[in-house]
Amino acid sequence: MERADPSMAQADLIIRQGTIVDGHGGEPYVADVAVRSDRIVAIGTLDGWAAEQAIDARGKLVTPGFVDIHTHYDGQVIWEDRLIPSCYHGVTTALMGNCGVGFAPCRAEDRDRLVCLMEGIEDIPEIVMTEGLTWEWETYPEYLDAVERRSHDINIASLLPHSALRVYVMGERAATGAATQDDLDRMAALTREAMAAGALGFGSSRTIFHRSSDGEKAPTLAAGERELKTIATAMKEAGGGIIEIATDYDEGRNVAGEFSLLRRVAGETGQTLMVPTVQFHDTPDAWREVLALMDAANRDGASVKGQVTPRGVGMLFGLELSMHPFILSPAYREIAHLPLPDRLAAMREPARRQRIIEEEPLPPPVPLLASVRQFDRMFVMGARPDYEPSADSSVAAEAARLSLSPAAFAFDVLTAGDGTDTLYLPSSNYADGNLEPVLAMMRHQHTVLGLGDAGAHCGAICDASYPTFMLTHWVRDRTQGERLPLPQVIKALSHDTAAMVGLHDRGVLLPGYKADINIIDHDAMVLHGPRISFDLPAGGRRLTQEATGYVATIVNGRIVYRHGEHSGALPGELIRGRRAAPEARAAMTVGEAIEA
């Protein structure tokens, strides 16, 4: 640690001689970075500078902190000060309120309904929310105040959730009814209120697969074009923001019709619309139509952008998780209530093993469960997961090599050891058995990275680790096809996502910008396998995933993580509203920054 000399230029923290990957996409270069308070103050050869703390970053990458614009931390920010698992993967700013689900505005009589909706759509256990939510708010501004009162490790921003807004205004009519003019006027007023309090926009959903835990459709599915335009117009009147809408285009079978409606909302209100862009397995080429329509919309003056996740959306199956291949087996259901050790012992009994493997499963109560025995698309998820596996490593292929049925092989994997091993089923983005469609979607001029769903799907999906996956698989390790340049990937993870949602004060390394920084040992970086932990309120479970290689993560100028260990610092801020780039530095080049 260096000690300050009053005769020297003074900083709180200096990162020495790291390889700067600046977030603008330029070539990496070696330099020092000086931080004072929550800002970068100088980049270059800073031999005359002193600081209270210094980090030797020789041989390491120094990058902007990553900005994840599709998370569901709406509950977690109330009961927890660390945003696990995003904090393990270099994320320094997270945007919540996506897909229209959240907890404000909300009257006391509607709390159970919003909890039920979040449980069904985002797979967060009801008991976790019942125990963890403090409900010290009714309005959206009061909710943001509650978030701000709690310290956090990373920065948080929020979208106004459309489902909560609709229930607050319409009550029981929200699930099926069209909004009246009085309803629309009230929604518009509440939207303006939310934007004034700090919302970056609003999130909504138009997919039939988004249902509450009691099977009720998301209230936003009943919202028409007029309602969407009313909310977007109110948002524009309050200064503008992002419209995020989850849609599956009827699983790719109604792309033109659905896209036309959404394009009109964006075009007629002048707001930027973000929609998911994925490869559906039943309509594997529909993503091409989405991108073509996106190009046409932007040429015509509408701002329509796509969010792409950089790997298959990964359903994880295991005995401690929400699903596995035998969950509908009558012989398994007889013992499903038992604690895991007792369940394992019962499953290993030869007669029960045979029954579970061979008997006909019960009809799936929801469409999602129909996928749990797709053994030709299912893979073993090990300690070093492969997210671009070849067909000859599928459960079906491995079983054939051992002269076993696929069900028997899967059963033996899940019941081995302590019963915590998992299977991986890419439910989208993997119809071709590779990630080439994902590569094309990521490279499109109107897409950004997203859809990691951090904070959600506690027992089925753990895709919040995608920043580390980008750095390992796409930059360094991929063997099935082309890799991506490091500067391009860093830009996609930081500058591009920050700019998309109007946070222009972060995402790049230049003087004047936020001191949200990662120091990375890229050669040593490892993405570890997902694991289950029971550390949510009421002992609730969640999937987490850790990484090796993050030497330090710095948030608002303070070191929050060193080699994956929390320093105890909680400098994260609630971001209220969009942020402009530092005026004096907005157009500064890398060369100018070094001279500064």
Same domain, 210 and 108: yes
Residue 181: strand, helix, or coil: helix
At 590 the pLDDT is: 43
Same domain, 226 and 168: yes
Same domain, 131 and 273: yes
User: Sign (positive/negative) of CA torsion 27, 31, 32, 36?
Assistant: negative
Query: Which CATH number do you get for residue 119?
Result: 3.20.20.140
User: Where does the pLDDT of residue 588 fall: very low under 50, low under 70, confident under 90, or very high at 90 and above?
Assistant: very low
**Structural domain contains residue 380:** yes
**Structural domain contains residue 581:** no
- Average pLDDT of the residues in 389-410: 97
**Structural domain contains residue 354:** yes
**Structural domain contains residue 595:** no
At 368 the pLDDT is: 72
Same domain, 286 and 344: no
Residue 367 pLDDT greater than 90, yes or no = no
Question: Which domain does 369 fall in, by range?
Answer: 317-423
**Structural domain contains residue 333:** yes
Residue 28 pLDDT greater than 70, yes or no = yes
Residue 516 pLDDT greater than 80, yes or no = yes
Residue 88 pLDDT greater than 50, yes or no = yes
User: Sign (positive/negative) of CA torsion 367, 257, 234, 277?
Assistant: positive
The distance of Cα 554 from the centroid of its chain, to the nearest Å, equals 20
Q: Which of 405, 423, 441 is the last residue of a domain?
A: 423
Same domain, 99 and 145: yes
**Structural domain contains residue 157:** yes
d(CA 223, CA 308): 25
Same domain, 376 and 401: yes
Same domain, 262 and 406: no
Q: Are 51 and 13 in contact (CB under 8 A)?
A: yes
**Structural domain contains residue 34:** no
CA-closest candidate to residue 193, choices 141, 135, 236: 141
User: Sign (positive/negative) of CA torsion 354, 355, 360, 366?
Assistant: negative
What tokens does 419 get? 């019963």
- Average pLDDT of the residues in 191-204: 98
Same domain, 362 and 284: no
Domain count, the chain: 2
Q: Which of 454, 476, 500 is the last residue of a domain?
A: 500
Residue 361 pLDDT greater than 70, yes or no = yes
User: Where does the pLDDT of residue 533 fall: very low under 50, low under 70, confident under 90, or very high at 90 and above?
Assistant: very high
Residue 592 pLDDT greater than 50, yes or no = no
Residue 92 pLDDT greater than 90, yes or no = yes
- Average pLDDT of the residues in 439-457: 96
User: Where does the pLDDT of residue 216 fall: very low under 50, low under 70, confident under 90, or very high at 90 and above?
Assistant: confident
Same domain, 81 and 204: yes
Same domain, 351 and 489: no
C-alpha separations of 327 from 98, 255, 363, 416 in Å: 30, 33, 11, 17
Same domain, 474 and 414: no
- Average pLDDT of the residues in 307-327: 94
Q: Are 244 and 101 in contact (CB under 8 A)?
A: no
**Structural domain contains residue 342:** yes
Same domain, 113 and 252: yes
At 584 the pLDDT is: 54
User: Where does the pLDDT of residue 586 fall: very low under 50, low under 70, confident under 90, or very high at 90 and above?
Assistant: very low
- Average pLDDT of the residues in 121-127: 90
Rg, Å, the chain Cα set = 24
Residue 17 pLDDT greater than 90, yes or no = yes
Q: Which of 423, 439, 459 is the last residue of a domain?
A: 423
